[in-house]
Amino acid sequence: MTDNAFRPFETALDEGRALANLRQAVAGADDGELFLERRRSEALVLDDGRIKTASYDASEGFGLRAVRGEVAGYAHSTEISEKALTRAVETARLAVGDGGGTLADAPQGTNRRLYTDADPMLDASFAGKIDVLKEIDAFTRGLDPRVVQVSATISAGLQEVEILRPEGLRLSDVRPMARLNISVIVEQAGRRESGGMGGGGRFGLAALLDPGHWQPVAREALRIALVNLDAVPAPAGVMDIVLGPGWPGILLHEAIGHGLEGDFNRKGTSAFAGLMGQRIAAPGVTVLDDGTLPDRRGSISFDDEGTPSNRTVLIEDGVLVGYMQDRQNARLMGTASTGNGRRESFAHIPMPRMTNTYMLGGKDDPSAILADLKDGIWAVGFGGGQVDITNGKFVFSCTEAYRVQNGMIVAPVKGATLIGDGATALRNIRAIGNDMKLDPGIGNCGKSGQWVPVGVGQPTLLIGGLTIGGSAA
């Protein structure tokens, strides 16, 4: 930890008085905590040969929560002081009322660290980062004369967290994040197409700024753009789909993962509510949420309530066996937290959220899966999508996809969207590849207006009977 470490109980608050305030806030409540945070981040964007953005942001503050039953009182402030904390107690206690609750047991403490606590922003000077961006621009343009525009982004940040619980448990975590992305626009015969690639995780910038890393990223972004130059309009209709490994797991995350978060199931609004112990997927389908993977974008040593992160099996061999839980929802459902209580910042209340959600690999050869596709789409890359949690219906756009007939790739396609629902897609999985892969570290997840970093992954999958939205006649 650096000399400039976040130490609010040494610089702004007396720990004993802060604990007394917290205990006053949760007297008669079921649960609660004091969450303190400092966050610093920077982003540099080079676009069309010029630095478009060079930003630096810093924030700090606390959130105080008192929970009773299904109600939570929450107060937050950008001023970390005893005066602000005392004011927050009054607001948080509004949820407690006359009390009557029994304070939940404290989470188990942990000394586990899944990532470095070094500041990734210090891995290179400002001038050094600008030089790398210019090198990326020149290198990528030199790869192909059809390149007309290059955009490259370097971003890094450090989140420092302190959690004080009413039992006196105090936890500290330092969470780094670094990312590099490259996008390319190519033009040929008046037609322009784009491609992008990048990634990162909870580690320093140094590895990402090395030419041995960013040059392959630039080549991959260009490859995708050139593939799209030759793409024909996607067909429309009901077809079998092969999903590639890795990032296509975002469909799993959205269409299935959210439906396995505990709050939606407790309230009966998930398509999977009431199905615990029942078969909801094809045999061989095993899905996990795992926040314990070292250095991964969605990993956390402990969640934002202080519960150590966990490797939670959600679906095992096609059977629903678990939900992702925070402390409040777990208590209301009579189970234990799985370490999935996450929040965007000190200004937000925690809720059940995914970390790294992925499907385990199977036994099938990926090339054989593709060879068995008689008439369908091989979807390798995905962009945005929409999901209705209540019924699991989804619509996802493909950024790289191919028409396949009789096991042979006919042509790349553009404008393809996958339409279906998570429950049906799970049951219609017909083959599971042995090539499980995690995404390169680009995922963000939105829920109730909050955004958190996540990871996804899956092997090659064959799914029968998805609807393809396309424009081909």
* Residues in CB range of 280: below 8 A, 6 or more apart: 272, 315, 318, 319, 320, 423, 426, 427
Task: Of 181-185, 431-435, 445-449, give the lowest mean pLDDT range.
Answer: 445-449
pLDDT greater at residue 101 or residue 328: 328
Gap between the Cα atoms of 29 and 101, Å rounded: 5
- Residue 352 structure tokens: 């059940």
Asked whether the predicted pLDDT for residue 473 surpasses 70, the reply is no
- Work out the pLDDT band at 392, boundaries 50, 70, 90: confident
Q: Name the pairing type of β-strands 341-342 and 50-68.
A: unpaired
The whole-chain average pLDDT of the chain stands at 95
| Distance from C-alpha of 244 to C-alpha of 402, rounded to nearest angstrom | 11
Closest CA to 171 of 113, 118, 116: 113
d(CA 30, CA 168) in angstroms, rounded, equals 16
Determine the pLDDT at residue 472.
Answer: 66
What's the pLDDT at 333?
96
DSSP count for the chain of H helices, then E strands:
11, 23
**Partners of residue 75 on adjacent β-strands:** 64
**What is the token pair recorded at 295?**
């250095």
Task: Indicate if the pLDDT at residue 115 is higher than 50.
Answer: yes
pLDDT in tens, 54-76: 999 999 999 999 999 999 999 99
What does residue 133 show for φ and ψ, rounded to 5 degrees?
A: -60, -40
Question: Are the C-beta atoms of residues 314 and 322 closer than 8 Å to each other?
Answer: yes
**pLDDT greater than 80 at residue 307:** yes
98 pLDDT more than 90: no
Q: Predicted confidence band at 3 (pLDDT cuts at 50, 70, 90)?
A: low
Higher confidence at residue 290 or residue 4? 290
Domain with CATH 3.30.2290.10 in the chain: 8-229
- At 69-96, the pLDDT tens digits run 999 999 999 999 999 999 999 999 998 9
**Mean pLDDT of the region 285-302:** 98
Can you give 246-271 as a three-state secondary structure string? CCCHHHHHHHHHHHHEHHHHHCCCCC
pLDDT category at 389 given cuts 50, 70, 90 is confident
> Is 8-229 a CATH 3.30.2290.10 domain?
yes
Average pLDDT over residues 169-197: 97
Nearest Cα residue to 214 out of 46, 400, 398:
46
Average pLDDT over residues 168-197: 97
pLDDT at 2 over 60: no
Position 464, amino acid: G
State mean pLDDT over 163-173: 96
Of all residues in the chain, the percent with pLDDT exceeding 90 is: 90
pLDDT recorded at residue 385 = 77
pLDDT at 27 over 60: yes
Mean pLDDT of 430-451: 96
Express each pLDDT in 442-466 by its tens digit: 999 999 999 999 999 999 999 999 9
Residue 1's pLDDT is 47
